[in-house]
Amino acid sequence: MFFLLVIVGILNHVAIIYHLYWSVYEFDSLVHFLGGATLSAFFLWFYFFSGFFSPQKRNFTKFLLISILGAMLVAISWEIYELLLGEAVIQKSEYPYDTIMDLIMDFLGVIAICFYGYLREKKLEGKKASDFTETKSDIQV
């Protein structure tokens, strides 16, 4: 999660210096994808691993729900913030397309990290279970 945050920060800094958001449209999509992934990783960590919550069930539905709700709340809030700040103007013809593409790319980043996080969790659960069975068999001998 921290690595993603650093990458997004560096890319955003470079984009602002060289005006890449306005000159290279795909760059904006890349940063939104990575931003959605970073948000998803944060909310998954916060809910499942930070210790603030005690989730008993760690199924894919919970991973998906936490990822989507958390990250999309921030992504939509950011789009509203851009409107209030004057960075985005609704009257511009490309505004709806740009905003929808931003949210889609955020969503794709969320889904990618959600799958990654869930598969990693399952792998760790399997490893813990195999460690337990090995220890149990050692005790029986």
How confident is the model over 96-118, as pLDDT tens digits?
A: 898 999 999 999 999 999 999 99
Q: What's the pLDDT band for 132 if we cut at 50, 70, 90? A: low
- Whole-number pLDDT of residue 139: 54
Q: How many CB atoms lie within 10 A of CB 76?
A: 14
Which pLDDT band holds residue 141 (cuts at 50, 70, 90)?
very low
pLDDT digits (tens, 9 = 90+) for 5-43: 999 999 999 999 999 988 998 999 999 999 999 999 999
Predicted TM-score (pTM) of this structure: 0.85
pLDDT grade for 138, boundaries at 50, 70 and 90: low
pLDDT for position 45? 95
Cα separation, 8 vs 30, whole angstroms: 9
Residue 65 CA to residue 3 CA, distance in Å, equals 23
Alpha helices in the chain (DSSP H): 2-18, 20-23, 25-44, 60-85, 95-140
Helices 2-18 and 25-44, interaxial angle, to 10°? 160
Chain segment 78-91, per-residue pLDDT in tens:
999 988 888 776 77
